[in-house]
Amino acid sequence: MWRVISERFQQGFRTGKFPLEEPKLPPRFRGLPRFDGECPSGCRACEQLCPFGACAVREGKMVIDLGRCLFCADCPACPQGRITFGNDYRLAVRRRQDLLYSGAAYPLAEPLEPARLKLFGRSLKLRQVSAGGCNACEADCNVLGTLVFDLGRFGIQFVASPRHADGILLTGPVTENMRSAVLDTYEAVPGPKVVIAVGACGVNGGPFIHSSETNQGLDTLLPVDLYIPGCPPQPYTILDGLLRLLGRR
C-alpha cells in the first residue's frame, strides 16, 4: 500500500489544465487550414486533385469543406502548395455549412439554446455509437476518459444505455447495417436530446461518401447539434466542441 501511495506522489498531477490553459500540441498536428498566396487565374486543379472532393473554387477563392477533409499531411489538392495546416485545434461548429472554410473568420460552435442549456449545461450523459467507423475516432473519444483529459470533471460522461443518456455521439459513416441501430438508439434517448457527429465519416461519410452502403453522414438521418470534423479529431478538438456546446468556452 505504501509503495502505491509513494508512486502516486512521484507521478504528480497528470490532468491537463485545459481549458484554463491552451493545450501543447505536437508540431506535426494538423489543425485549421491556411491558404498561402493567390490562386492562379482560372485554376481549378484542387477540385480534380483532392481525392475526397473537399476542395472547390468559388468566385476565385479556394474553399475547403472541412466536413470532407481528411487533413492529409502533404495536401495533394493544390499544385502550387497553397494549402497548409495550422495548429488551431478548435474546429467544432453547430451548422454543416459553417464547415465550408475559405480563410475568413471561422464560426466556432455556439452554445445550445437556453432551454436545453439549462438542462445539460452542468451534466451531459452521452451514448457513443460506432456506426461502421475504423476505430480511430472511437479511440480518441475513449481517451477523453483518461486522467489527462478527465472528461468527467466537466460533468460529461459516456453511459452504457441510451435510456440513461441525454444524447448520442456518433462516429463512422452510418453503414446500411448500422442504420436501424442508430435510429433505434436515438429513439431510446428521452427528449429533449442532443446529437453530435464526430469525424469526417460521421459528418459527411468521409472517404466512403460515394458508397451505396453508407448514408453520407449523420444529418441525412437525424438533426445534428454539433459537428466535429477531423480524421480523426484530436481529443482536444472533441473536448473543445463539447464545452462550447455547453457554454463552457
Query: Which CATH number is 172's domain given?
Result: 3.40.50.12280
Residue 49 located in a structural domain: no
In the numeric block, the cell 455549412 is attached to 97
Q: Which residue has the higher pLDDT, 249 or 128?
A: 128
Residue 79 located in a structural domain: no
Residue 204 located in a structural domain: yes
Task: Calculate the average pLDDT of the chain.
Answer: 90
Taking residues 225-242, report their average pLDDT. Answer: 96
Residue 32 located in a structural domain: no
Residue 231 located in a structural domain: yes
Flag whether pLDDT at 94 surpasses 90. Answer: yes
Task: Please give the Cα distance from 233 to 229 (Å, whole number).
Answer: 6
Q: Which domain holds residue 150?
A: 114-245
- Confidence (pLDDT) at 13: 64
Residue 219, number of CB atoms within 10 A of its CB = 19
Residue 35 located in a structural domain: no
According to DSSP, the residues that pair with 33 across neighbouring strands are 85
Residue 87, number of CB atoms within 10 A of its CB = 15
The model's pLDDT over 147-196, given as tens digits with 9 standing for 90+, comes to 899 999 999 999 999 999 999 999 999 999 999 999 999 999 998 999 99
- Confidence (pLDDT) at 12: 67
Domain count, the chain: 1
Q: Which helix (H) or strand (E) holds 100?
A: strand 100-101
Share of the chain above pLDDT 70, in %: 98
Closest among 67, 72, 41, 45 to 56, alpha carbons compared: 45
Residue 196 located in a structural domain: yes
Residue 189 located in a structural domain: yes
For strands 100-101 and 83-85, give the pairing. unpaired
